[in-house]
């Protein structure tokens, strides 16, 4: 699931995401950076958040990883993209991000 906000944040995006309880990871296979928030002391399940700046907006893209994504160099992904848990977590993240939106919109 995704949500977008104007790219007029008062703080660095990594700082804001950390305030929401996420920490950065780097996938050596895809060469992509993202953020995760584990739901227990185990590696899975965990929320997995991608952020991207595009066209004057910041896009937050979230899913819930249920298990490992790599099996013998194949991509097998067991994840929830539109569950109630994901919707609730995205709303929680938005509540954190909203606190860092600047009053200026450029219009």
What would the pLDDT profile of 9-47 be if each residue is shown by its tens digit? 999 999 999 999 999 999 888 899 999 999 999 999 999
What are 75-91's pLDDT values in tens digits?
556 889 999 999 999 99
pLDDT at position 102 is 86
| Cβ–Cβ under 8 Å, residues 37 and 56 | no
What are 68-79's pLDDT values in tens digits?
766 555 555 688
| Cβ–Cβ under 8 Å, residues 64 and 15 | no
* pTM of structure: 0.86
pLDDT at position 27 is 87
Question: pLDDT at residue 107 above 50?
Answer: no
Nearest to 77 by CA among 3, 27, 20, 2: 27
């Amino acid at each position: 699931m995704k949500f977008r906000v104007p790219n007029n944040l008062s703080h660095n995006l990594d700082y804001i995401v950390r305030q929401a309880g996420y920490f950065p990871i780097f996938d050596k296979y895809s060469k992509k950076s993202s953020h995760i928030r584990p739901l227990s002391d185990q590696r899975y399940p965990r929320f997995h958040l991608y952020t991207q700046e595009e066209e004057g907006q910041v896009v937050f893209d979230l899913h819930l990883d249920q298990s490992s994504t790599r099996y013998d160099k194949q991509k097998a992904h067991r994840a929830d993209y539109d569950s109630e848990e994901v919707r609730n977590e995205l709303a929680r993240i938005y509540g954190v991000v909203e606190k860092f939106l600047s009053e200026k919109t450029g219009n």
